[in-house]
Chains A and B, each alone.
Chain A
Amino acid sequence: MASRRFLPSGFLILAALAVSGAAAAVDRDTAQLELTQAVTAVQTAERDDAARYAPADLDEAHSMLGSAQRAADGRSWDDTALFAERAKVAGDLASARSRQHRAESATAEIERSVDSLRHEIGGAP
């Protein structure tokens, strides 16, 4: 249960509102906050070179962010929050996959280098 504190707040709020039967009305400030967090996540993914290592995930994040920004332009705060939340997790996933790809590539290169050294040492007279 303790792990639940790590949950994205938006998802918990949305789930709680839906379960309680209350209208899931999101105010402007909440929607803008979600949007800001989404922009940050997507920018972080770009800095993490996701365009190179996780292009599909980054494209999805951009698409969701675009939908959130259009919803914000239309003052539809519910949709803004919904798409922003999606953009944020899609951006986070792009960053994570980019990190995974870079780490695995670097490790594979070191592994090749170690194999080569082992071969040299093993083959030495």
Chain B
Amino acid sequence: MAMLTLIPQFAIGFADLVAAFLFMYGLQRMSSPATAPSGILVAGIGMAAAILASFLYLCDVSAEARPHLPVNVGLALVALVVGGGLAWWSGKKVAMTAMPQMVALYNGMGGGAAGAIAAVELYGDKAQGNTQLVVTLLGGLIGAVSLSGSVIAWAKLDGVFNKPLRVSGQQIVNALALLATLGVGGAIVFAATGKVSPIALPDLITLFFGLALIFGILMTLPIGGADMPVVISIYNAFTGLAVGLEGFVLQNPALMIAGMVVGAAGLLLTLLMAKAMNRSVMNVLFTNFGDAPKHKQGVLQGTLKPVEAGDAGIFMRYAKEVIIVPGYGLAAAQGQQKLYEFVKLLKAAGVVVKFAIHPVAGRMPGQMDVLLAEAGVPYDLIFQLEDINDEFANADVALVIGANDVVNPAARTDKSSTIFGMPILNADKAKKVYVVKRGEGKGYAGIVNALFYDDNCFMVYGDAAAVMTQMIEAVRGLAARSAA
């Protein structure tokens, strides 16, 4: 009998230890695009080992649970196959442009799982002592908020509804919802420790999770689409934290370590994103973007100067260096493939071509890099803001496609602008700037871009994919003529 519990205990402990190590080693291998694919494979092996070993828990269940074991094992297998199968299928199918909402959804699932574990522990009255009880509640709260918040983030990113929903006094309502949740949590601790409670314990637990889910929804509804990179990062950190806390409750160090590592990762990305927008995390969460009082914009000098796509393409063909600034508008027009085709033509003609990526280009951190990689752009052509910003001054052309606010010089000079202080790409420092744009609209922040009126800036109007096709044809036509 002793061996019957000792061997599984050892096997689970060992498998979890290996898993925790492989997770960290795998993430460490993500420090370069060359080693990163092996990194996720290594982490995957760790995960498989931990999941397989977890079925050894059936050797060591409590006496009351033993009669239910056949049913429970069956349920676990069905849940693994159905949940895993559906997510695997969706993950294989999802378009790269839809990646932010998919990641938000998977993240919400993790938070929901942590919340559900907390619920099982609470309903079953399994917590040993007040510390465990409080930690269970805390993990459950954070997990539930992450679940409902991520679902709202998914719905917003997926376009189910994209208008931020705001009512007056919303912050007070949100604060009350959080206080109510914490209050019910406190009542659960009192009731569980044998104090007389007017509401039965199971009802309190249901109320607790209901309020936590509602708070997650209320907290996410007012946040606008442009702030989603920050929101996704925060919920990633939340889920990690919830998993870590439930790991403590279950006395499982693998969950504790994995959860905290992810929590730290999410926090780091959150701060990076907020910094790239020159806003604090608190500002993103609790104030509504675009609500700042409208200021009078300084009178812009100069005019908008439209040019033909073909002429711009040929000019770049004879340039020495071209830096491309892609924005989400490029992806929205599905123009990445055409753009890279054009880049290959330029490179074949001896032009040095580089891509400059702003940290908030896209709907989640690094999404523009993935979209370019999908189109086949080699990653050694892709540069981040701090690495390339000084190079614009030497470039003959800066080609801005589907980006707007991230190249607006007002962020540098205009103290009254809503984007003042935000780090921007110095596209205006290039000798010549071409801006590919659908029409004369404003950027996401609703500000007119001073760059477009500069003497060295020319506008190429049209759909990004169509414009790129015209540029390709112009450069090809040139080559055909010179060959004839």
The finding on whether chains A and B are genuine partners in a shared complex, rather than unrelated, reads no
Give the A-binding residues of B (Cβ under 8 A). none
